[in-house]
Amino acid sequence: MLLASLVEPSFGLIFWMTLSFLIVLFILAKFAWKPILNGLKEREASIADALNEAKKAREENANMMAKNEDLMRQAREERELLLKEARDIRDREIAGAKAKAKAEGDALLARAREEIRNEKNAAITEMKNQVAELSILVAERILKEKLGDAAAQKALVDKVIGEADLRKS
């Protein structure tokens, strides 16, 4: 009969169990489970939000970094370009200057050479003229003075030549 009492639900316990369990269920549902479940949901939502925001921030950061990197690269490229241009310009200038200097030098040289040649020609012509005059003079004097010996002749020639100013006439 003890066994029977074990598997035979007693009225009193069913009564109290039903009554008190339902009351507690109601109270807990209203004052415990509702705030707890809401709190959990809110916290989860806020954590999810925070995570999302962190992710977004990270993405933005990465974007910014990429953008910075891009800007830096652009700046570098620009600098390279500028430098290259400057180098080109310099090279061109130098090359131009060199060419010009060379041309000018050449021209000067050419002119100098021309002048030298002209001067030389003029000098040669002058010399030719003076030599001819001198020869004529010498010959004239010789012819004018009778010269006894060869030594006197020689001295005379030297004297005439010495008297002749090549620069003159």
Partner 1 sequence: MSIPNLLRTASLLIGSFLFGAASAQHDGHDHATHDHVDVVDSTVASVVAADSDAPKLALEEAEHGGRFDAGKLIMGHIGDEHGWHLWGHTTLPLPIIVYNTERGVSIFSSGHFDHGHKTYGGYMIHEGSIVATKDADGTDVHHATIDEPLTKATWDISITKNVLSLFISLAILLFVFINVAKAYTRRAGQAPTGFQNMVEPIILFVRDDVAKSAIGPRYMTFMPYLLTAFFFIFLNNLLGLVPFFPGGANLTGNIAVTLVLALITFIIVTVKGNKHYWQHILAMPGVPGWVLFILTPVEILGMFLKPFVLMIRLFANITAGHIIALSFFSLIFVFGETNAGAGYGVSVMSLAFTVFMTMLELLVAFIQAYVFTFLSAMYIGAAVEEPHHH
Angle at the Cα of 91 (from 88 to 96), degrees rounded to 5? 120
- Tell the smallest beta-carbon distance from residue 79 to partner 1 (Å): 51
Query: Of 23 and 72, which CB lies nearer to partner 1 in the complex structure?
Result: 23
Tokens 């008190």 label which residue? 20
Cβ proximity to partner 1, 15 vs 88, nearer residue: 15
Which range of residues in 19-27, 102-110, 116-124, 161-169 is near partner 1 by CB under 8 A? 19-27
Of residues 31 and 59, the one with the C-beta less far from partner 1: 31
d(C-alpha 20, C-alpha 41), whole Å: 29
The residues, ordered by sequence, that sit 6+ positions from 134 with a Cβ below 8 Å of its Cβ are 160, 161, 164, 166
The enclosing H or E element of 10 equals none
Residues that bind partner 1 in the complex, under the rule CB under 8 A: 1-3, 5-18, 20-22, 24-25, 27-29, 31-40, 42-43, 46
